[in-house]
Amino acid sequence: MNIQLDSQGRLKHFLGIEGLKRELLIEILDIAASLIQVSEKAVKKVPLLRGKTVVNLFFEPSTRTRTTFELAAKRLSADVLNFNISSSSTSKGETLLDMLNNLEAMHCDMFVVRHDEAGAPFFMAQHVPEHISIVNAGDGRHEHPTQAMLDMFTIRQHKGEFHNLKVAIVGDILHSRVARSQIFALTTLGAAEVRIIAPRTLMPKGIEDMGVKVFDRLKAGLQDVDVVIMLRIQRERMRSALLPSEQEYFQYYGLTEDMLAQAHPDAIVMHPGPINRGVEIESSVADGSRSVILQQVSNGIAVRMAVMAMVLGRIDKPLETAKDSLV
């Protein structure tokens, strides 16, 4: 039994893409499409989670992800508590379960969890009461499922169906939870081909078992792809000798105008952010007409709204009209 689903097969927690069926991923995308119009209204709120309390538990920093989750919850009319882990009692020795028990006593309904240890959101989902839902905002090297779903939403906006698409994911695959979730999502949604492009030092062993094609040369990997997803390179990888230097990485794996010319003429460029300009991508590409990076950020709010409404059982189908959302 999938811990993420209730007895009726609906989302109870959203912990990862792996193991979820295509129909459920499509449902998330469809509901997000019906909610995206909320951001265009004068009053950017719907009452789907009125009376609910959402707690952001971020054990590692991520301003962009935390902010979009907070906006999503508030636009669903939920009350939001941002828990400052660095100054909390967990830094004084309080265990994770102790902290959960104290937060449960405050009658919270959902925990959005970002943690540097893989599996932490699963552990929490196994120990919270039935009425509490857990949403994974990124755990270790495991998954970042809402990032993957906002990426899928953006791809569908521009490309329609997935079955004829060739998608390239470029960068630090070894350490990337985003890449893992993207691979699970793309293969589940039926993408024609998923390519992984990275230096050998940043390529996980056995990655082919996930149904991807592996390239260690950017030019070859980008040939005729429809979507290019660049991953952020963290500078500590340079210090750990996994990469020689930023300049050399950019020379061989940076996305430039010349390299992008290898892709399909109407290929789109994506990046989960934050961008290291001149390391994984040059500014003219990041800011160019084929870049949809800022759209990814905007779409993230609607996708996270959809996930949060679904796991709390307040919506199980797309809203047909804006009027429906005000009922």
- What 3-state DSSP class applies to 33? helix
Q: Where are the alpha helices (DSSP H) in 160-225?
A: 177-188, 218-221
- What 3-state DSSP class applies to 221? helix
In sequence order, which residues have a C-beta less than 8 Å from that of residue 37 and are 6 or more positions away?
322
Q: At what angle do helices 22-35 and 293-311 cross, to 10 degrees?
A: 110
**Beta strand 53-58 pairing with 79-84:** parallel
Q: Which of 92, 200, 205, 323 is catalytic?
A: 92
- Contact between 52 and 173 under an 8 Å Cβ cutoff? The reply is no
For 309-325, give the DSSP string: HHHTTS-SS--SSTGGG
Give Dmax (Cα) for the chain. Answer: 57
Q: Which of 41, 44, 50, 64 is catalytic?
A: 64
Q: Which of 12, 13, 52, 65 is catalytic?
A: 65
Q: Which of 13, 115, 144, 237 is catalytic?
A: 144
Q: Taking Cα atoms as reference points, which of 28, 71, 78, 72 lies closest to residue 48?
A: 78
CA dihedral (241, 245, 248, 249) positive or negative? positive
In sequence order, which residues have a C-beta less than 8 Å from that of residue 165 and are 6 or more positions away?
155, 159, 191, 192, 193, 226, 227
Q: Which of 13, 52, 114, 195 is catalytic?
A: 114
- Phi and psi of 230, rounded to 5°? -90, 140
Q: Is 92 a catalytic residue?
A: yes
Q: Is 65 a catalytic residue?
A: yes
Q: Is 64 a catalytic residue?
A: yes
| 10 phi-psi bin (left φ>0, alpha ψ -120 to 50, beta other) | beta
Catalytic residues: 64-65, 92, 114, 144
